[in-house]
Structure 1
């Protein structure tokens, strides 16, 4: 396997949907981007899925399909199978034998388009099967895996794990075609354990729309599937991850590309050529380092911070707010936060952030620094020290501030030396009127200083406003 051409990267209605004027479709249309039905061509020999858009997409990509000897079909939905392609192939006088491989329902939909004299063979497969295809420079070993998706007739769709073998029978490259599917079944994850894929083409249909109820991925389940595949050893730092089967339920393409990049993935583009093996793939691996996420109340900053680590199976979530006995509203807030986090994440409720960062064994998410600072001020009785300073006794305030600064210094030092991916959420303050109380002004000033110091020590700082993210240079 030397090259995969992504002939199409869109869902059934393409992107933009020609009947739609939503912001996502408008942005795609204005930028000249068009995504047709998802399909991939391997070495000009193996074609995976063939919807109505694929024939024109091949021409647009500057490739021909005359050398295709194997057509792998995942299921019989129209955007993955256009049987008329077999008829059009016969009009070209094609005499090269073609094997059409797929579930029985998909093959049944092809029969009407094949003449008795056409050199086309239908080869039914089901999940668990393995077939060997003969290529020009080596064979392909194809494993058929279970998809979380069903066809028109209720037949399970399949995924294809394709390994290219060199002339000596050794592995040259390996890819997984995973469209259409929702979160992968346990049997599929087990089958992929330790595969160390070179290329993952994983569907991400529904974007921010997570109430679709369909067997597809969205921007909530997509990173969780990535996390599962990383945990299984199928996705590594050398795996190039491409999101396919995209629709206008996603943010506009430029925004989607930014979201995917946080998980070490790329947005699929029709016609993109993917060399295999690809030494540059490590450039899109999961980011490391420190990220500070700033935002106002209810701006979406916590959700964005969780999104940054959503592709990680094991994350330590550090909640600095603690519990508040008798406060039902606070308990409800905590419950909602926990419900939206992956079950595999661990939670620690503590103010000892420096110790947490020093002892961390993997990614850490801190939410949030505003409540941490409040807690540290409480610990050092700074509020009462402020009241006493109004009466002329400034010694307690001086002592409390010195203790607070020592804690902040310790946090900054631990943040700087932490070797793992770490994301912290903090409140952006000071944009409104000056607080009316001394306590409010001290809190505002100290949190502003803390944010500034952490920003200097961070590889990435993001401001979240009304759910929109703005990376700060």
Structure 2
């Protein structure tokens, strides 16, 4: 089966008429316009192929016999027919990339399924950014593979980590923060993170990262290394004697190096801020900076996230 896209944008095209957002204006300034979604299967418009309506879209039968699941528009998440395995899916990946992960989780999308983004609009900054994301979603990597994402507070590093794994059928989220039952603001942050993660992801709260990396074999998100180190330093009474935490640091680096999982880990970039005013603060900064370097040296990918923008470091 051959799928051809002659348009990939939402109904009004991209840029949207009269829209002044940066995404639309960037395209308009460069003289580029993407036409509304128009797809062909084996040379026949999908609109002319036999179809069955499903919630959120259609199941289309291609002339050559292939099965295609198609989103009806922006925000639509087409439900698969029970037991169906699709040859191709055309989805609103600009708005709902996690739906691709759900379809994989259900078995409706496999490694052989072709994946296309349709109904694209200014929900993504640019076509180049969509293609960057599609690199993670179209053919999810398998382990062993390690990615370290660095960034400051509220830089968007956690959102980027989650985004990279949205298309995976099963993800284990390793939350490394210790419980804070009396801290309402912290609980609100935790719930906000939990609320934006797909419901089929498994959450494990642990500071035994080395043990988790040794036993997990699928996709793993670690959020984050900084909170793990703070917990380790507290348990080892290492705030005044940082060397007491080094055995746990070495244990983690060894587990990171030898894991069979696909791991995306978030860590704080501490080298760009002011020098901490307390000895314990300086001890934490120095040890975390050291650990970040060790993990980056053993990672296939490392990136810095600043204001939601991603800069690949190699």
What is the TM-score of this pair, normalised by structure 2?
Answer: 0.91
Q: Partners in 1 of 2:61 and 2:33 — Cα distance?
A: 27
Aligned residues: 311
Instruction: Provide Cα deviations, 1:334-362, integer angstroms capped at 9, x if missing partner.
Output: 22222222221222111110100111142
Q: Partners in 1 of 2:177 and 2:310 — Cα distance?
A: 24
- Greater relative CO (CA pairs within 8 A, separation 6+): 2
Structure 1 counterpart of 2:45: 47
Q: Partners in 2 of 1:446 and 1:452 — Cα distance?
A: 10
Structure 2 counterpart of 1:227: 101
- Within-5 A mapping of 1:420-459: 420-459=261-300
Instruction: Provide Cα deviations, 1:80-127, integer angstroms capped at 9, x if missing partner.
Output: xxxxxxxxxxxxxxxxxxxxxxxxxxxxxxxxxxxxxxxxxxxxxxxx
After superposition, the Cα gap between the structure-2 partners of 1:223 and 1:203, relative to the gap in structure 1 and judged at 3 Å, is closer
Structure 1 counterpart of 2:115: 241
- Alignment of 1:25 with 2:24, yes or no, is yes
Contact between 2:156 and 2:305, CA under 8 Å: does it hold in 1?
yes
Structure 1 counterpart of 2:82: 190
Structure 1 counterpart of 2:304: 463
Contact between 2:178 and 2:231, CA under 8 Å: does it hold in 1?
no
Structure 1 counterpart of 2:91: 202
- Alignment of 1:263 with 2:155, yes or no, is no
- Within-5 A mapping of 1:258-337: 258-264=132-138, 285-288=139-142, 289-337=145-193
Q: Partners in 2 of 1:323 and 1:408 — Cα distance?
A: 21
Instruction: Provide Cα deviations, 1:53-87, integer angstroms capped at 9, x if missing partner.
Output: xxxxxxxxxxxxxxxxxx24xxxxxxxxxxxxxxx
Contact between 1:292 and 1:425, CA under 8 Å: does it hold in 2?
yes
Shift of 1:426: 0.5
RMSD: 2.1
- Alignment of 1:366 with 2:259, yes or no, is no
Shift of 1:22: 2.1
Structure 1 counterpart of 2:253: 412
Give structure 2 stretches of 5+ with no counterpart.
none
Larger radius of gyration: 1
What is the TM-score of this pair, normalised by structure 1?
Answer: 0.62
- Alignment of 1:146 with 2:40, yes or no, is no
After superposition, the Cα gap between the structure-2 partners of 1:445 and 1:313, relative to the gap in structure 1 and judged at 3 Å, is same
After superposition, the Cα gap between the structure-2 partners of 1:13 and 1:350, relative to the gap in structure 1 and judged at 3 Å, is same
Q: Partners in 1 of 2:288 and 2:6 — Cα distance?
A: 50
Following TM superposition, where does structure 1 have runs of at least 4 consecutive aligned residues deviating by more than 4 angstroms?
none
Contact between 1:162 and 1:176, CA under 8 Å: does it hold in 2?
no
After superposition, the Cα gap between the structure-2 partners of 1:25 and 1:444, relative to the gap in structure 1 and judged at 3 Å, is same
SS of alignment partner, residue 204 of structure 2: strand
- Within-5 A mapping of 1:347-362: 347-362=203-218
Instruction: Provide Cα deviations, 1:403-422, integer angstroms capped at 9, x if missing partner.
Output: 42221121112112222211
After superposition, the Cα gap between the structure-2 partners of 1:177 and 1:332, relative to the gap in structure 1 and judged at 3 Å, is closer
After superposition, the Cα gap between the structure-2 partners of 1:440 and 1:203, relative to the gap in structure 1 and judged at 3 Å, is closer
Q: Partners in 2 of 1:348 and 1:163 — Cα distance?
A: 46
SS of alignment partner, residue 97 of structure 2: helix
Q: Partners in 2 of 1:40 and 1:252 — Cα distance?
A: 21
Contact between 1:11 and 1:247, CA under 8 Å: does it hold in 2?
yes
SS of alignment partner, residue 442 of structure 1: helix
Shift of 1:429: 0.4
Structure 2 counterpart of 1:177: 70
